[in-house]
A = this chain, B = another copy of it.
Amino acid sequence: MEPKGIPGLNAEESTAWMSLMAMTMWLPAALDVQLSRDEGISNFEYGALAALAQNECRSMRIKDLARMANGTFPRLSKMIDRFEKQGWVIRRPDPDDGRATRAVLTAEGLRKVAVATPAHIALARELVFDQLTSEQVEQLTTITQKVFRAAGPDGACASRMT
């Protein structure tokens, strides 16, 4: 956070960039620390379990999970191996497409998400929402949506990155 300019960015942009990079370093790390200490899972794994829990059929195709979580196939495949060993998920062939596999959340898995969620959300509130006015929360939504649209899977960037 020095007053050092970044070549190609003006002063405001330099500050914003350093501050944004700092946040993207530390916020996920803080979430990881809490989750792995209290629940033995990473933030990435929590996201996957929570995504399964939200989908009211309690399951998702691995492909969709990978896309949503920005993970590769092997990474998801191995994560689901771990989940199966824990009894949180089972693999089921997709009835609509013989190639696809669905990851199905078990009752155990659903319980795990339910147990892990409160402290996770409490930390989210502490680190983010307690720091911001409700106006700033709105601004945050607007800004992060715009950046996500550019950087996310459908962004102009993603297509150039093949």
Complex alpha-carbon distance, A123 and B147, angstroms: 12
By a CB distance below 8 angstroms, the chain B residues around A140 are 16, 19-20, 143
Are A28's CB and B24's CB within 8 A?
A: yes
Task: Select A30's contact among B6, B34, B137, B161, beta carbons within 8 Å.
Answer: B161
Are A151's CB and B16's CB within 8 A?
A: no
Task: Select A9's contact among B28, B70, B124, B143, beta carbons within 8 Å.
Answer: B124
Are B153's CB and A26's CB within 8 A?
A: yes
> Is residue A96 contacting chain B, with contact meaning CB distance below 8 A?
no
Q: Which of A19-78 contact B (CB under 8 A)?
A: 19-30, 33-34, 37, 47, 54, 69-70
- Given A7-B121, A54-B4, A139-B139: A147 and B15 within 8 A (CB)? no
Task: Select A132's contact among B28, B124, B146, beta carbons within 8 Å.
Answer: B146
Q: How many copies does the complex hold?
A: 2
Task: Name the residue on B nearest A114 (C-beta).
Answer: B7
Do most interface residues of chain A lie in helix, strand or loop, or is the interface mixed? Answer: helix
Write the nearest CB–CB distance from A137 to chain B, whole angstroms: 5
Are A30's CB and B157's CB within 8 A?
A: yes
11 contacts between A and B (CB under 8 A): A7-B117, A7-B121, A8-B121, A8-B125, A9-B124, A20-B128, A22-B152, A26-B148, A34-B161, A123-B157, A127-B147
